[in-house]
């Protein structure tokens, strides 16, 4: 049984000082998350895109189970921002982290309308993965076949049709809003990657590929020089391998173990 070690957002520094740390252009970043891609992948891509000084903190199972890594809610990812003479601010929840980093590195468009629209696309993309976690990615063996069929025949086609509609409205140019990279673009590429890491990933990816608009967004993200360089590193490749290994034990496959 794991031990929960909680960490308060409130520390010795004032609210105003914490805000200055978060705004510090010379800040460095440390992302605490498992040795997989998954929920940490978008933040890692954004940090790379922004040419930030950052590092991964990959916990060992025993130190996490023993409660040696306190976090605000007993879950990861957690982002630590260090600036202003070494003082730190701790940030929790992947959505909050992604939004903060996207704002920091210019991935929320050019005005408030673009920002809220990009965030709307991000939210819907995020929800696709979150819906799948408990019914596809992590589910009981005897429920896998039905769960995957429902996802493939109902959930995924609806998502693809919705996003194809919006991407066409933006000119089918490889972006959700305007003509430059945004949080929504990067998140879509990573969520598509997430599904490709599942044992059923080949079949799911084949459905994504049928939509040229969605696939163009993924290719546009992958062609960004900073993101491409990060994804070519051994460190990033190891995280992908970690995801594939993890989901091989938890997610539906196309094999005989689906049979009820």
Neighbours of 221 (CB within 10 A): 25
For 253, the token pair is 């496959």
**How confident is the model over 243-254, as pLDDT tens digits?**
999 988 876 555
**pLDDT, tens digit, 9 for 90 and up, residues 151-183:** 999 999 999 999 999 999 999 999 999 999 999
What one-character-per-residue DSSP string does 100-135 give?
Answer: HHHHHTT-S-SSHHHHHHHHHHHHHHHHHHHHHIII
Better-scored residue on pLDDT, 134 or 108:
108
**Where does 96-200 show beta strands of DSSP type E?**
none
Strands (DSSP E) found in the chain: 28-32, 53-57, 78-83, 87-92
Kindly indicate the confidence band of residue 258, based on its pLDDT and cuts at 50, 70 and 90: very low
Determine how many CB atoms are found less than 10 A away from the CB of residue 259: 9
CB-count exposure of residue 2 (10 Å: 0-12, 13-18, 19+): exposed
For the chain, the average pLDDT equals 92
In angstroms, how far is CA 64 from the centroid of its own chain?
A: 21
pLDDT computed for residue 260 by the predictor = 33
Query: Which residues lie below 8 Å from residue 196, measured CB to CB, with a gap of 6+?
Result: 202, 204, 205
Give the C-alpha separation, 164 to 166, whole Å: 6
How far CA 41 is from CA of 46, 71, 208, in Å, comes to 9, 19, 19
Evaluate if residue 3 carries a pLDDT over 90: no
Mean pLDDT, residues 219-237 taken together: 98
Quick check: helix, strand or coil at residue 181?
coil
Query: Which distant-in-sequence residues (6+ apart) come within 8 Å of 93 by Cβ?
Result: 73
Length of the chain: 260
Domains by residue range for the chain, with CATH: 15-104 (3.40.30.10), 112-258 (1.20.1050.10)
């Amino acid at each position: 049984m794991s031990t929960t070690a909680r960490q308060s957002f409130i520390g010795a520094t004032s609210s105003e000082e914490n805000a200055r740390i978060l705004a510090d252009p010379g800040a460095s970043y440390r992302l605490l998350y498992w040795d997989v891609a998954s929920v940490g992948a978008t933040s890692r891509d954004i940090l790379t895109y922004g040419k930030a000084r950052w590092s991964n903190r990959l916990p060992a199972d025993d130190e996490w189970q023993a409660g040696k890594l306190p976090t605000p809610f007993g879950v990861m990812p957690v982002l630590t921002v260090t600036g202003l003479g070494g003082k730190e601010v701790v940030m929790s929840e992947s959505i909050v982290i992604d939004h903060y980093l996207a704002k920091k590195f210019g991935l929320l468009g050019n005005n408030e309308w673009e920002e809220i629209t990009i965030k709307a696309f991000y939210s819907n993309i995020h929800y696709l993965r979150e819906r799948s976690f408990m019914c596809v990615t992590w589910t009981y063996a005897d429920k896998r076949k039905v769960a995957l069929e429902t996802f493939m025949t109902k959930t995924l086609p609806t998502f693809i049709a919705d996003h194809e509609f919006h991407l066409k409205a933006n000119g089918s140019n490889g972006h959700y809003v305007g003509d430059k990279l945004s949080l929504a673009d990067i998140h879509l590429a990573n969520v598509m990657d997430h599904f490709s890491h599942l044992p059923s990933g080949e079949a799911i990816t084949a459905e994504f590929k049928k939509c040229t608009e969605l696939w163009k967004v993924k290719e546009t993200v992958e062609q960004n020089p900073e993101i491409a360089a990060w994804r070519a590193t051994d460190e990033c490749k190891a995280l992908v391998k970690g995801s594939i290994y993890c989901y091989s034990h938890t997610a539906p496959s196309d094999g005989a173990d689906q049979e009820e």
